[in-house]
Amino acid sequence: MATRHIDAVRTIDEAVYANPWGVANWRNELASADRHHIVAIEDDILVGHAGLLFVLEEAHVTTVAVDPSREGKGIATAMLVDLLGEARAHGSTGATLEVRAADKRPQRLYGRFGFRPVGVRKDYYSTPIDDGIVMWLTDLQDAEVGDRISEIAAALTHSTEV
Ligand SMILES: CC(C)(COP(=O)(O)OP(=O)(O)OC[C@H]1O[C@@H](n2cnc3c(N)ncnc32)[C@H](O)[C@@H]1OP(=O)(O)O)[C@@H](O)C(=O)NCCC(=O)NCCS
């Protein structure tokens, strides 16, 4: 992701998040060495974005968002393949994220990659208030995890450029 993508990213975020990040926040994210943000482009249109924060040996998935009109085409899956590959290359030993308890779709998505629920942060989210499910994908460096990511990547049929 580059600065020129911020407006399109924010348009998606405003459609899918209750509290989207502002321009200043995005500029900070893009300027920080411990962040890694990607965009998905289809037919020259920005259709999704996703990001990581590296904390010591952990990779935190901070955001995954897809244009609602493009859902269900594997765009988030493609971005996660990319992010987890990046985390493995970075040497991260595990990946983690929080997801709204009510949002079963992303939980299924993360589950396919091997993320498992390990805890609940009570009332972690606002607008509306919801618990946060903490999910972890441990053993990120294991060959089996690499094989699983490769299998998911091979099954993708779309032509999104990430
Ligand atoms: C959750 C979210 C990221 C999913 O994005 P997406 O691009 O629709 O996800 P994918 O297409 O990769 O996978 C979603 C579904 O499409 C299916 N799918 C994937 N590729 C497909 C393809 N080529 N053809 C048909 N279906 C496909 C998947 O099996 C999956 O099915 P499921 O929801 O029944 O489990 C998106 O809905 C979103 O931005 N939501 C709002 C923000 C949010 O909640 N983000 C997560 C924060 S933790």
Residue 158, pLDDT above cutoff 90? no
pLDDT recorded at residue 13: 98
Å from CA of 147 to ligand 1 middle: 21
Separation between Cα atoms, residue 60 and residue 43, nearest integer Å: 29
pLDDT recorded at residue 161: 66
Q: Is the CB of 8 under 6 A from ligand 1?
A: no
Residue nearest to atom 41 of ligand 1 (CA): 16
Look up the CATH architecture of domain 3-155.
3-Layer(aba) Sandwich (3.40)
| Residue 133 DSSP symbol | E
| 63-104 pLDDT tens trace | 999 999 999 999 999 999 999 999 999 999 999 999 999 999
Give percent of the chain with pLDDT exceeding 70. Answer: 97
User: Within 10 Å of residue 117's Cβ, how many Cβ atoms?
Assistant: 14
Å from CA of 45 to ligand 1 middle: 18
Q: How do 94-100 and 116-125 pair as beta strands?
A: unpaired
Residue nearest to atom 19 of ligand 1 (CA): 74
Residues 6+ apart with CB under 8 A from 78: 40, 153, 156, 158, 160, 162
